[in-house]
Chains A and B, each alone.
Chain A
Amino acid sequence: MMLSKGLKRKREEEEEGLAVDTWWLDPGHPAVAQAPAATAASSSLFDLSVLKLHHSLRQSEPDLRHLVLVVNTLRRIQASMAPAATLPPVPSPPPAPGVADSLLASSDAALSASMASLLEDLSHIEGLSQVPQPLADEGPLGRPTAGAPPSLGALDLLGPATGCLLDDSLEGLFEDIDTSMYDSELWAPASESLKPGPVEGPGKEETTPELDEAELDYLMDVLVGTQALERPPGPGR
């Protein structure tokens, strides 16, 4: 019995399907010699891999290496399960090929769909955090990445580039965040309230758009703490 920290499995029914041995990799094993059983073994490894994939993606920040290796392993298993559908029929009534076929039919589509959607979820999240390329100046050496932190990527969508709120597809991710401070209506009254008197000059309307963006940038910087971070750590060496 191997002593190690194990994968936490939340559902008990999963445990029965997951064998610990490697008997299905042993070609001399009578069960393995029959293709249908090999497919069943592959499918349990498949289930385990899908479980790992889901578990990995459920992490707040998935370990990319772990994720990629599990996905690639899943692809290998899928590729090995594909030929089973074309195997010659076994003399004795074979319930397994039918099972394999249906498993394949569902797993192919399911795997592609699940992997595609899972990786797309990941790219959605990661895409939000990219340092937007237009912000970085191309220098003679490589691609200097500007000091703007990656985490500003999403908020930059609110800034000069679009001047409007997030796309519909991304809005859902921000449902729990109070975005009221980013509403443009808030800025006009705020700038008004700074004026001592009730006089509203025409200058307010002219300068508001620029003020909005500049103030928005400033607010974003303060929120994510880049103001503090851009200050050099101290004089001298």
Chain B
Amino acid sequence: MKCFSRYLPYIFRPPNTILSSSCHTEADIISTVEFNHTGELLATGDKGGRVVIFQREQESKNQVHRRGEYNVYSTFQSHEPEFDYLKSLEIEEKINKIRWLPQQNAAYFLLSTNDKTVKLWKVSERDKRPEGYNLKDEEGRLRDPSTITTLRVPVLRPMDLMVEATPRRVFANAHTYHINSISVNSDYETYMSADDLRINLWNFEITNQSFNIVDIKPANMEELTEVITAAEFHPHHCNTFVYSSSKGTIRLCDMRASALCDRHTKFFEEPEDPSNRSFFSEIISSISDVKFSHSGRYIMTRDYLTVKVWDLNMENRPIETYQVHDYLRSKLCSLYENDCIFDKFECVWNGSDSVIMTGSYNNFFRMFDRNTKRDVTLEASRENSKPRAILKPRKVCVGGKRRKDEISVDSLDFSKKILHTAWHPSENIIAVAATNNLYIFQDKVN
């Protein structure tokens, strides 16, 4: 990794193009962003149930300045709105999560899910076409067999590249509640899907059966006080996974211990700070995202105001806590009133687990360097993103005299929230979703 951290602020250059839909409709709002394991592909899902995959341009001697740009590779409709006739409910087509499978052949595979159904998609290229059929003519019409006097072997001829996405598996009817997470296991044979109260384990080859491995539904729904908010498999140990809750706890489970992992192996919870206690303590402690580090040694959790890093070997408190936007602590009542306090922000690790990133309001996103303990606030906006320019750090003024470049807390736009971000697995390239716009920033230290 380049030692760019010595030259903080993080020098991210905006892309030449900002990828966005031309007209802003509700359906265009991006709901998930995910790089594949090599970083060659970047997938986004939106509220309209569409998946758009971007591919990184190959390096080319002719067009050096275009190296590393992401362009649209494939677009397809993953989920359609459905109607549950029994419950008279409309099932949203919004893509909640996309997870890539590691590449094992020429095709790419990804899982996409809405509230109820997970689908396995195969994305493959076709750049050759067979020509010279015996029984069909060039237009594909069947020929009269009696007119055929000679036989020839069809040959493959090049054609314009066509990328096609086909649904290979549909995993349906296993979730009563809304699916919030999917996670591919390191065995590459199974994956899990988690909803508010249950986690199911699937085999990729079997669609009509799944194993329930966690169930926190109480016998009496009146006793319900906690829901599952996120879940993820350990990156290397295929028997281990974690899930987070609305009460700010994380449970690590070992599938070898018992078939039903209702009893956890480890329980991570930080004691409540009495000085910060308020009516909203529980809501702001609700974990919206949990991610294992690439090394598998740490987990990172995001709650409303902070990002925490936990060592798997220490359950009683996190080893690091980063304040994302502590200036909101005095505004919690307003944020409760307008429901912003329920916003679910995600968090990501960089490839070397040395930097973590998460979003905030006003199209701001934050990066924290775990080694130097320095942090930066950046903004994803068209106005501030001239091509090849450097992103300027932003600062929120909490009180007193506001400096020229600072923005005051009361001027923040809470409708512009960055909930979804992604970091390239090995390079300093980040993808930031701001409503219906996707920003891709690359770090180019020369």
Proximity bits, A58-77, B CB within 8 Å = 1, else 0: 00110111101101110011
Stretch at the interface among A28-36, A114-122, A197-205: A114-122
Residues from chain B with a CB closer than 8 A to the CB of A140 are 259
Nearest-neighbour CB distance to chain B for A149, whole angstroms, equals 4
Q: Does A94 sit at the interface, judged by CB under 8 A?
A: no
Total B residues in contact with A, Cβ cutoff 8 Å: 65
B188 interfacial by beta-carbon distance below 8 Å: no
| A residues near B405, Cβ cutoff 8 Å | none
A176 to B225 Cα, complex, angstroms? 33
B225 lies within 8 A of A72 (CB): yes
Q: Which of A85-93, A103-111, A159-167, A224-232 contacts B (4 or more CB under 8 A)?
A: A224-232
A window 101-153: CB within 8 A of B: 115-116, 119-120, 122-123, 125-131, 139-152
Q: Are A48 and B209 in contact (CB under 8 A)?
A: no
The interface residues of chain B lying within 8 Å CB-to-CB of A143 are: 211-212, 215, 259-260
Please determine whether B334 and A2 come into contact, CB atoms closer than 8 angstroms.
Answer: yes
A51, B78: Cα distance in complex, Å? 36
A151 to B282: give the CA distance in the assembly, Å.
Answer: 32
Answer whether residue A172 sits at the interface, using C-beta atoms and an 8 A cutoff. Answer: no
Question: Which residue of the partner chain A has the closest CB to B196?
Answer: A64
Q: How far is the CA of A47 from the CA of B240 in the complex (A)?
A: 43
Q: How far is the CA of A126 from the CA of B178 in the complex (A)?
A: 12
Chain A residues in 8 Å Cβ range of B210: 144-145
Name the residue on B nearest A70 (C-beta): B283
In the complex, the answer to whether B211 meets A141 with C-beta atoms within 8 Å is yes
Determine if B4 is an interface residue (Cβ-Cβ < 8 Å). no
Interface contact B213-A64, CB-CB below 8 Å: no
Q: Interface digits, A1-45 against B, CB 8 Å rule (1 contact, 0 not)?
A: 111111100000000001111100100000000000000000001
Q: Cβ of B279 and Cβ of A45 under 8 Å apart?
A: yes
Q: In angstroms, how far is the closest chain A Cβ from the Cβ of B142?
A: 24
Contact residues on A (Cβ < 8 Å of other chain), bracket: 35 or more
Chain B CB within 8 A of A195 CB? no
Contact partner, A145, options B212, B229, B246, B333, Cβ 8 Å? B212
Q: B176 to A130, Cβ gap below 8 A?
A: yes
Stretch at the interface among B13-21, B34-42, B84-92, B393-401: B84-92
Q: Which residue of B lies closest to A130 (CB)?
A: B176
Contacts of B286 in A (CB 8 A): 65, 69
B211 & A76 in contact (Cβ 8 Å cutoff): no
8 Å CB contacts to A: which residues of B187-234?
196-197, 200-201, 207-213, 215, 220-222, 224-227, 229
Name the distance in Å between A165's Cβ and chain B's nearest Cβ.
Answer: 16
Query: Are A147 and B208 interface neighbours, CB within 8 A?
Result: yes
In the complex, are the beta carbons of B259 and A141 less than 8 A apart?
yes
List residues of chain B with CB within 8 A of the CB of A149: 172-173
CB of B278 closer than 8 Å to a CB of A:
yes
Query: Given the known A-B contacts A61-B89, A154-B86, are A68 and B209 also in contact in the complex, defined by CB atoms under 8 Å?
Result: no
Q: How far is the CA of A161 from the CA of B382 in the complex (A)?
A: 62
Question: A20 to B337, Cβ gap below 8 A?
Answer: yes
**For B172, what are the chain A residues with a Cβ–Cβ distance below 8 Å?**
149, 229
For A48, the chain B residues whose CB sits under 8 A away are 336-337
- The answer to whether A95 has its CB under 8 Å from any CB of chain B is no
Partner of A65, one of B220, B246, B280: B246
Known: A125-B87, A129-B87, A145-B209. A6 touches B282 (CB 8 A): no
One of A2, A71, A120, A234 near B410 (C-beta < 8 A): A2
Instruction: Specify which chain A residues have a CB less than 8 angstroms from the CB of B273 in the assembled complex.
Output: none
When distances are taken between beta carbons in the complex, the residues of chain A under 8 Å from B278 are 25
Nearest A residue (CB) for B169: A233
Does B270 make an interface contact (CB < 8 A)?
no
Q: Are A4 and B89 in contact (CB-based, < 8 A)? A: no
Chain A proximity mask over B320-341: 1 for CB below 8 Å, otherwise 0: 0000000000111111111110
Indicate if the CB atoms of A7 and B85 lie closer than 8 Å. no
Partner of B227, one of A68, A116, A125: A68
Q: Closest Cβ of chain A: how far from B336's Cβ, in Å?
A: 7
A22 to chain B minimum Cβ distance, whole angstroms, is: 5
Residues of B within 8 A of A142 (CB): 201, 211-213, 259-260
- CB within 8 Å of A: which B169-187 residues: 169-170, 172-178
Question: Is A191 an interface position by the 8 A CB rule?
Answer: no
Given contacts A60-B89, A143-B211, A226-B173, whether A73 and B282 have CB atoms under 8 Å apart is yes
Instruction: Assess A80 versus B279: contact at CB under 8 Å? Given A3-B413, A22-B333, A66-B342.
Output: yes
**In the complex the two chains form, what is the Cα distance from A7 to B333 in whole Å?**
13
Complexed CA–CA distance, A18 and B337 (Å): 9
Instruction: Collect the chain B residues with CB atoms within 8 Å of residue A224's CB.
Output: 85-86
Measured between beta carbons, the chain A residues less than 8 angstroms from B88 are 60
- Residues of chain B lying within 8 A (CB to CB) of residue A181: none
Q: List the A residue with the shortest CB-CB distance to B417.
A: A4
Q: A148 to chain B: which residues have CB within 8 Å?
A: 173
- Cα–Cα, bound, A21→B339 (Å): 15
Chain A residues whose C-beta falls within 8 Å of the C-beta of B84 in the assembled complex: 151
Contacts of B220 on A, CB cut-off 8 Å?
Answer: 123
Interface pair A120/B282, CB less than 8 Å apart = no
Q: Do B86 and A151 touch across chains, with their CB atoms under 8 A apart?
A: yes
Task: Flag whether B150 is at the interface (Cβ < 8 A).
Answer: no
A contact residues around B90 at 8 Å (CB):
60
What are 16 A-B pairs with beta-carbon distances under 8 A?
Answer: A2-B410, A5-B338, A22-B333, A61-B87, A65-B196, A66-B339, A68-B224, A116-B222, A142-B212, A143-B211, A143-B212, A149-B172, A150-B174, A224-B86, A229-B172, A229-B173
- With A60-B89, A144-B210 already in contact, 10 other A-B pairs whose C-beta atoms are closer than 8 Å: A4-B413, A22-B331, A65-B229, A65-B342, A73-B280, A119-B222, A120-B221, A145-B211, A146-B209, A147-B173
Instruction: State the A residues within 8 Å of B (CB).
Output: 1-7, 18-22, 25, 45, 48, 52, 60-61, 63-66, 68-69, 71-73, 76-77, 80, 115-116, 119-120, 122-123, 125-131, 139-152, 154-155, 223-224, 226, 229-230, 232-234, 237
Interface residues of B (CB under 8 A from A): 84-90, 167-170, 172-178, 196-197, 200-201, 207-213, 215, 220-222, 224-227, 229, 246, 259-260, 278-283, 286, 330-340, 342, 410, 412-415
The 6 closest A-B pairs by CB, nearest first: A123-B221, A4-B414, A149-B173, A147-B208, A142-B211, A64-B196
